[in-house]
């Protein structure tokens, strides 16, 4: 399925104003060099998840720049998505992938075998779900096109020794691509394929990140019964054990004995993961009906409300114990907020401890750092300002596009 209902791109001039003329002209130079090249992005979901969020901004932006880009989404039965979720967990280091799942995987690839368009020149395939589509290209097509595999997953070491195992199949498929792209050097597998590092990015003009009127922020607080006069600390995350929302509540309870404040936990309800409900139940039990703990359960399109809640916060927490990159950290830094976050995965790529936030590993450390920021507002403001400039330089949409086009420029025929 080709996505045809994308919103238009906000004005390119506005992006240029945000990132500066120099970066923008580097992008325009690349666009000139790639003039006439037709791009195709392929993933497995139109809504929900970081990849869809990225493509929603990325594809209109490329078209506005003058590079024709289509976004295609594979379609498959629910059984396929169960298998790929298990695969995702396996790649992040958990057991559970059974050899019998491989046939379900191939069935979905066969159903989507025509998804790669005849007239696309550079095809970027995102994550393991559509990885196998490369098998259906003829040798001539493989010669003419450029195929990139972009992996957004926190890849642990994937065992590939056993022939026919999923790790071995993935390796063989990835090695058919002309290049692979990872979010961080930590996730690079030692496979025989040219590899590039491109960190994720946020769109500063999306509903999630654009400036909001104060009145809208106030109205959002009022809607959820949050007191604007009492300091607010917030974590935005799916209700997932790896995001440690229970640890956040435990840290909050230690701070609240020392200073008045409120905790806002923002998470999603649209979750087909049974574990999510278990985590939410544990969160509610740990919160014990405390009136200063606001547990929000928002629909998936609550971008403006999340934006408002992040902006209303004094400190943002992201106490993850495993984290691919942590776009919530990027979003918070861009809003000028100091962040207290787990020292794991992609978070240290965004937070320099003591400079634009704090990296923590325990509940007590989390509590101490939040309390310190609440008591030192000037320092908190300085950290937030540094965080915003850091994101402006490294983690905004135009930089992500520039990096991606530079890879295409290197691999093109």
Least distance (Å) between residue 229 CB and ligand UDP: 26
Question: Of 65 and 198, which has the nearer Cβ to ligand UDP?
Answer: 198
Least spacing, CB of residue 327 vs ligand UDP, in Å:
4
**Which residues bind to ligand UDP, rule: CB under 6 A?**
50, 53, 208, 236-238, 266-268, 298, 306, 325-328, 331
Count CB-CB contacts under 10 A for residue 352.
15
- Shortest spacing between CB 337 and ligand UDP, in angstroms: 13
Cα separation, 286 vs 242, in Å, equals 17
Kindly tell me which of 238 and 369 has the beta carbon lying closer to ligand UDP: 238
Nearer to ligand UDP, 266 or 283 (CB): 266
Distances (CA, A) of 381 to 94, 138, 183: 39, 57, 29
Task: Note the helical H segments in 66-189.
Answer: 78-91, 101-111, 139-144, 166-174
Closest CB to ligand UDP among residues 37, 266: 266
- The token duo for 108 is 């979905």
What DSSP string runs through 306-341?
HHHHHHH-SEEEE--SS-SS-HHHHHHHHTT--EEE
Nearest distance in Å: CB 153, ligand UDP: 10
Write out the H or E segment, with its range, that includes residue 281: helix 274-287
Q: How far is the CB of 242 from ligand UDP (least distance, A)?
A: 8
Q: Which residue, 265 or 405, is less far from ligand UDP as judged by CB?
A: 265
| Cβ at position 144, least distance to ligand UDP in Å | 34
Residues 56, 206: Cα–Cα separation, whole Å: 9
Residue with Cβ nearer ligand UDP (195 or 328): 328
Distance in Å, CB of 33 to ligand UDP, minimum = 31
Based on CB atoms, which residue is closest to ligand UDP, 167 or 199?
199
Ramachandran angles phi, psi of 155, nearest 5°: -75, 115
- Only one residue has tokens 């995702």, namely 88
Q: What is the rounded distance in angstroms from the CA atom of residue 79 to the CA atom of residue 88?
A: 14
Residue number with the smallest Cβ distance to ligand UDP: 268
């Amino acid at each position: 399925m080709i996505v045809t209902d994308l919103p238009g791109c906000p004005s390119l001039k506005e992006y240029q104003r945000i990132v500066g003329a120099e970066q923008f002209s580097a992008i325009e130079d690349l666009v000139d060099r790639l003039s006439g090249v037709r791009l195709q992005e392929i993933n497995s979901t139109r809504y929900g998840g970081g990849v869809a969020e990225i493509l929603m901004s990325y594809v209109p932006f490329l078209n506005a720049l003058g590079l024709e880009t289509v976004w295609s989404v594979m379609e498959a039965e629910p059984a396929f998505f169960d298998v790929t979720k298990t695969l995702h967990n396996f790649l992040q280091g958990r057991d559970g992938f059974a050899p019998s799942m491989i046939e379900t995987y191939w069935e979905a690839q066969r159903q989507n075998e025509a998804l790669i368009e005849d007239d696309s020149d550079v095809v970027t395939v995102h994550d393991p779900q559509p990885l196998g589509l490369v098998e259906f290209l003829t040798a001539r097509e493989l010669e003419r096109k450029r195929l990139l595999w972009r992996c957004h997953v926190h890849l642990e070491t994937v065992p590939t020794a056993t022939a026919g195992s999923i790790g071995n199949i993935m390796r063989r498929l990835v090695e058919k691509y002309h290049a692979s792209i990872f979010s961080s050097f930590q996730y690079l597998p030692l496979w025989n394929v040219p590899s590039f590092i491109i960190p994720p990015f946020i769109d500063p003009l999306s509903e999630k990140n654009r400036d909001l009127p104060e009145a809208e922020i106030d109205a959002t607080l009022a809607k959820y019964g949050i007191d604007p006069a009492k300091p607010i600390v917030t974590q935005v995350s799916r209700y997932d054990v790896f995001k440690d929302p229970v640890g956040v509540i435990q840290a909050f309870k230690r701070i609240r004995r020392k200073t008045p404040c409120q905790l806002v936990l923002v998470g999603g309800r649209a979750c087909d993961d049974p574990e999510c409900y278990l985590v939410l139940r544990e969160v509610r039990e740990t919160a014990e009906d405390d009136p200063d703990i606001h547990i929000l359960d928002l629909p998936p399109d609550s971008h403006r409300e999340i934006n408002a809640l992040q902006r209303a916060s004094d400190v943002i927490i992201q106490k993850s114990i495993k984290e691919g990159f942590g776009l919530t950290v990027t979003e918070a830094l861009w809003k000028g907020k100091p962040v207290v976050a787990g020292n794991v995965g992609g978070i240290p790529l965004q937070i320099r401890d003591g400079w634009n936030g704090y990296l923590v590993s325990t509940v007590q450390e989390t509590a101490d750092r939040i309390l310190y920021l609440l008591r030192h507002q000037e320092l908190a403001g300085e950290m937030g300002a540094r965080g915003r400039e850091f994101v402006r330089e490294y983690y905004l949409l135009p930089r992500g596009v520039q990096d991606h086009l530079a890879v295409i420029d290197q691999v093109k025929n």
